[in-house]
């Protein structure tokens, strides 16, 4: 693992650091009690890393995932994404960041059931404001990248679980995001299909894609080059694995 | 996301959910189609009243000298009784006016009442018997298809000849030729010399149940005392000349009746203006009441759309969460749902316009009401329909736009 910047409040991350969180906290006011889901998480993830985030349920990994994915804002601390401080951005700016910088892959695929594969992959490009022709070209290209070039006009219910997840990956890639953010990407898949998807992730990683994957499965996390474990809202371990 | 994308998306969604969408556009559909149909009826009746009705009852550029107005809605009893005490119009009044007018006009005497007309053992009841002079046919634009009208000579000498309305002729003679046969009116035989073309009905009143006979023929006794007229009809070439003739006739009558300058006329010079003014009143009421009813039904339609859209937002929470996670801003989601409700309402409005026009044509065909499509109501309907979609779409769309993406994505 390369050098880690000693980050202090007021600093700017080094150019190669895609994700930098500094003393990130997130608290939920549940009325009767204050839930402290994150209690000061500082991690740095560099370009083209393949990182798995692990931890038992309640460890704060979903909360961290939401913050990294710009779906949520921290209670305190800093979050820098691709050289931009995003921890204090407003709603619409976060939407723009999600659109440009982040490619989500969900456990339940989250495809639109009535739209075919091509249209599903096109979705982020609509919000990026691309023309219809441009969108179609790029969506088709993304589908070819995940090996579904011949399934573009299939609706989700005409595809297998693995194929659906690959459509979702193509959708995540189509905007050429800084990070691919996967939340239990194999949670709904059998083991053969799971390893297929892991192959896709490895291939993307080889092509230079930064991948962050949240999982609670040890053997899935084993595909990553670095594993960060959370416990009780703090980083418990942060280990690079021998490739 | 630009607007056209939002609309494309909306149309896709609507097409994917045909049944649900058709339910939600029902309200607007009914509202708009009833708006157009009812405005068309009002509009058609309006045109009918101003064009045909007035002409049929009075004739073009024609006024009638009468004891009291022919068409009098809502007159208090006291006024009515005062009218009944006025002197009647006499033959001699008509002659004096005919002689006194300097404007070129044609004139006719007219007295009418309901009688029974018989032929052999056949009977036609409640027939309007009109004792008139020969120019009556010209003034009333009666088109004689069989035979001829009676002449001035026949009128003056009171020859018992009759011109029948189409319905009377059909009733008494069926398919036999009526000319030359004798019908009995008040016990006196009248020779049929002509039949007037079929005129149909006016607002449901049959126009063909009449007989016209010479004013001085024996039937005069059936309708009025000797020397008395119901009306003296004067037709001029233009509106201007009619007004001139009216003021001359007024002067002649006032001097004949020895009215002092401060005394009111004890006769009327009746034109179609009165009935048109009366109709304008009804028309005003219709034109305020109908839009009111329609607005109520459109509001109901809007509430239906709002409910369906709220349901759609609830059902598609996950989709909204997904779209947000993929970069949809609040306004993108807002637009998407607003476009959907507007498109539903617009489709409803378009179908409503088509149905409204269809309904209008149908009413025209099948009922005595003369409906004609009112272009304003079409424009109004289209605007209202789309407006309903926007107004009632705002709340559900705002709810959708405000959804928290994390919570939305988590929803099952």
**Is the CB of residue B395 less than 8 Å from the CB of residue B60?**
no
- Residue A69 has phi, psi (to 5 degrees) of -80, 5
Give the lowest-confidence range in A211-215, A225-229, B133-137, B372-376.
B372-376
Residue A242: band (very low, low, confident or very high) from pLDDT cuts 50, 70, 90: low
Q: Rounded to 5, what percent of chain A is helix, strand, coil?
A: 35, 25, 40
Query: How high does pLDDT run on average in chain B?
Result: 88
Nearest-angstrom CA–CA distance, B176 and B248: 48
Could you please state the CATH topology (level 3) that the domain comprising A48-72+90-240 is classified under.
Rossmann fold (3.40.50)
Q: What is the mean pLDDT of residues B154-169?
A: 93
Cβ neighbours around B151 below 10 Å, total: 14
Chain B residues with CB-CB distance to A124 below 8 A: 326-327
Contact residues of B toward A, CB < 8 A: 1-2, 5, 12-13, 16, 318-319, 322-332, 405-406, 409
What ipTM was estimated for this complex?
0.92
Q: What is the mean pLDDT of residues B381-393?
A: 88
Contact between chains at A96 and B327 (C-beta distance less than 8 A): yes
In terms of DSSP bridges, do strands B210-214 and B161-164 run parallel, antiparallel, or are they unpaired? antiparallel
Nearest CA in chain B to A63: B406
B1: distance to nearest CA of chain A, Å? 5
pLDDT of B16-29, one tens digit each? 788 888 888 888 88
Q: What is the mean pLDDT of residues B99-123?
A: 93
Contact between chains at A92 and B5 (C-beta distance less than 8 A): no
Q: What is the mean pLDDT of residues B92-114?
A: 94
Nearest-angstrom CA–CA distance, B148 and B130: 16
Give the lowest-confidence range in A139-143, B161-165, B372-376.
B372-376
| SS3 category, B236 | strand
pLDDT of residue B1: 67
A66: distance to nearest CA of chain B, Å? 7
Contact between chains at A127 and B405 (C-beta distance less than 8 A): no
pLDDT of B146 higher than 60: yes
Contact between chains at A126 and B1 (C-beta distance less than 8 A): yes
Nearest CA in chain B to A172: B326
B326: distance to nearest CA of chain A, Å? 5
Chain A residues with CB-CB distance to B3 below 8 A: none
pLDDT of A29-79, one tens digit each? 888 889 999 999 999 999 999 999 999 988 999 999 999 999 999 999 999
| Beta bridge pairs of residue A212 | A51, A181
Residue B364: band (very low, low, confident or very high) from pLDDT cuts 50, 70, 90: confident
Query: How high does pLDDT run on average in chain A?
Result: 91
pLDDT of B219-273, one tens digit each? 888 899 999 999 999 999 998 999 999 999 999 999 999 999 999 999 999 988 8
Selection from B387, B381, B292 nearest residue B40 by Cα: B381
Of A92, A99, A104, Cβ closest to residue B330: A92
A92 interfacial to chain B (CB closer than 8 Å): yes
Contact between chains at A96 and B332 (C-beta distance less than 8 A): no
Domain boundaries, chain A: 48-72+90-240
pLDDT of A11 higher than 70: yes
Nearest CA in chain A to B13: A114
Q: Of all residues in chain B, what percent carry a pLDDT higher than 90?
A: 52
pLDDT of A158 higher than 50: yes
The angle subtended at Cα A191 by Cα A188 and Cα A196, nearest 5°, is 90
pLDDT of A1 higher than 50: no
Nearest CA in chain A to B331: A92
Selection from A67, A63, A72 nearest residue A37 by Cα: A63
pLDDT of residue A3: 56
Give B15-21's long-range contacts (Cβ < 8 A, gap of 24+). Answer: B16/A114, B20/B308, B21/B344, B21/B347
Contact between chains at B330 and A128 (C-beta distance less than 8 A): no
Give the lowest-confidence range in A80-89, A190-199, B69-78, B120-129.
B69-78
pLDDT of B288-315, one tens digit each? 887 788 788 888 888 988 998 999 899 8
Nearest CA in chain A to B322: A110
pLDDT of residue B297: 83
Contact between chains at A129 and B1 (C-beta distance less than 8 A): yes
Nearest CA in chain A to B15: A114
pLDDT of residue A20: 94
Q: What is the mean pLDDT of residues A218-235?
A: 93
**Is the CB of residue B339 less than 8 Å from the CB of residue B10?**
yes
Q: What is the mean pLDDT of residues A141-157?
A: 93
Residues 44-73 of A with CB under 8 A from B: 66, 69, 71-72
Selection from B231, B241, B202 nearest residue B61 by Cα: B241
């Amino acid at each position: 693992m390369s050098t880690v910047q000693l980050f202090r409040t007021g600093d700017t991350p080094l150019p190669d650091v895609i994700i930098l969180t500094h003393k990130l906290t997130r608290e939920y006011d549940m009325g009767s009690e204050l839930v402290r889901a994150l209690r000061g998480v500082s991690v740095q993830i560099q370009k083209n890393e393949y990182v798995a985030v692990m931890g038992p349920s309640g460890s704060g990994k979903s909360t961290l995932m939401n913050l990294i994915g710009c779906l949520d804002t921290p209670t305190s601390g800093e979050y820098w994404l691709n050289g931009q401080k995003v921890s204090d951005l407003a709603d619409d700016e976060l939407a723009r960041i999600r659109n440009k910088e982040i490619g989500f892959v969900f456990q339940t695929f989250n495809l639109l059931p009535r739209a075919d594969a091509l249209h599903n992959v096109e979705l982020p490009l609509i919000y990026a404001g691309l023309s219809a022709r441009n969108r179609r070209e790029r969506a088709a290209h993304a589908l070819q990248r995940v090996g579904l070039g011949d399934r573009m006009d299939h609706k989700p219910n005409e595809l297998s679980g693995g194929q659906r997840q690959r459509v979702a990956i193509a959708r995540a890639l189509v905007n050429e995001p800084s990070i691919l953010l996967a939340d239990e990407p194999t949670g709904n898949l059998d083991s053969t299909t799971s390893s297929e998807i892991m192959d896709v992730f490895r291939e993307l990683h080889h092509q230079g894609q930064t991948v962050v994957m949240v999982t609670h499965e040890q053997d899935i996390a084993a595909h990553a080059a670095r594993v960060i474990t959370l416990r009780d809202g703090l980083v418990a371990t942060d280990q690079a694995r021998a490739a | 996301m630009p607007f056209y994308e939002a609309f494309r998306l909306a149309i896709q969604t609507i097409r994917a959910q045909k049944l649900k969408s058709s339910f939600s556009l029902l309200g607007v559909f009914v509202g708009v189609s009833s708006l157009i149909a009812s405005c068309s009826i009002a509009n058609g009746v309006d045109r009918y009243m101003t064009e045909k009705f007035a002409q049929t009852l009075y004739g073009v550029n024609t006024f009638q000298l009468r004891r009291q107005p022919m068409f009098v809605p809502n007159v208090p009893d006291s006024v009515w009784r005062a009218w009944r005490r006025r002197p009647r119009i006499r033959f001699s009044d008509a002659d004096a006016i005919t002689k006194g007018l300097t404007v070129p006009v044609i004139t006719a005497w007219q007295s009418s009442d309901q009688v029974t007309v018989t032929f052999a053992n056949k009977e036609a009841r409640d027939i309007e018997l009109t004792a008139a002079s020969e120019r009556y046919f010209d003034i009333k634009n009666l088109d004689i298809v069989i035979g001829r009208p009676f002449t001035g000579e026949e009128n003056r000498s009171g020859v018992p000849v009759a011109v029948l309305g189409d319905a009377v002729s059909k009733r008494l003679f069926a398919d036999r030729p009526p000319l030359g046969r004798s019908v009995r009116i008040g016990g006196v035989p009248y020779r049929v010399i002509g039949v007037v073309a079929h005129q149909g009905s006016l607002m449901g009143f049959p126009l063909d149940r009449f007989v016209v006979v010479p004013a001085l023929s024996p039937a005069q006794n059936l309708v009025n005392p000797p020397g008395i007229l119901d009306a003296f009809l004067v037709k001029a070439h233009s509106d201007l000349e009619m007004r001139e003739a009216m003021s001359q006739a007024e002067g002649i009558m006032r001097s004949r009746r020895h009215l002092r300058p401060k005394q009111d006329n004890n006769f009327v010079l009746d034109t179609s203006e009165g009935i048109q003014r009366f109709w304008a009143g009804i028309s005003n009421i219709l034109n305020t009441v109908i839009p009111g009813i329609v607005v109520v039904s459109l509001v109901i339609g809007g509430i239906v759309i709002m409910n369906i859209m709220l349901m759609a937002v609830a059902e598609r929470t996950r989709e909204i969460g997904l779209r947000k996670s993929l970069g949809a801003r609040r306004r993108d989601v807002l637009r998407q749902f607003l476009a959907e409700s507007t498109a539903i309402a617009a489709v409803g409005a378009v179908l409503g316009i088509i149905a409204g026009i269809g309904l209008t044509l149908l009413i025209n065909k099948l009922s005595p009401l003369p409906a004609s499509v009112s272009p304003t109501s079409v424009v109004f309907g289209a605007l209202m329909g789309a407006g309903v979609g926007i107004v009632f779409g705002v709340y559900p769309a705002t709810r959708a736009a405000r959804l928290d993406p994390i919570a939305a994505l988590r929803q099952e």
